[in-house]
Structure 1
């Protein structure tokens, strides 16, 4: 899914919510689904960029970031969680 398709799907979900055709829970699920699909289909404009997901225990589990390597992904996750890289005890794998 490209960025434009993702934005259109999110806009449609919001329109349905505003029109009362969907409740907040359904809208959240739909938007999360669009975002997850976009992240897993992500192909960066810059060569080497891809989506990586943290898998393991703790707050990092399930986080998806875009980076050019597993080590860069680990650093981005550490920055997002405001924790030292050494404390991020997860496996980082391409999505």
Structure 2
């Protein structure tokens, strides 16, 4: 999914919410799905990685060229030392 498609899908979800065709929970699920698809189908050298270790960064998702780069990216954003990450896939719940 390219950026324009992602934005269009988010806009459609917002319009449905504003029209009363979905509730806030439905809006959140749809937007989360759009963002997950965008991030995991990102074309280029980067991929989405989620922090799997406990602590301040738990659950954080970053874009990086690999696991080591993802750990370094997380460390640059928060004060975290022992960071474990895994690649995010479109089939994960969230």
Q: Normalising to structure 2: TM-score of the pair?
A: 0.75
How far, CA to CA, are the matches of 2:22 and 2:59 in structure 1? 26
Q: Which runs of 5+ in 1 are unaligned?
A: none
**Cα deviation 1:34-80 (Å, max 9, x = unaligned):** 11111111123xxx322222223234333221122322211221233
Greater share of residues in strand: 1
**Aligned with residue 60 of structure 1, among 57, 61, 86:** 57
What is the root-mean-square deviation of aligned Cα atoms in Å?
Answer: 1.9
Q: Is the 8 A contact 1:39 1:64 kept in 2?
A: no
Q: Normalising to structure 1: TM-score of the pair?
A: 0.75
Q: Which runs of 5+ in 2 are unaligned?
A: 89-94
Within a 5 Å distance, the mapping from 1:76-91 to structure 2 comes to: 76-80=73-77, 82-84=78-80, 86=81, 89-91=82-84
**Aligned with residue 51 of structure 1, among 48, 53, 57:** 48
Q: Which runs of 4+ in 1 moved over 3 A?
A: none
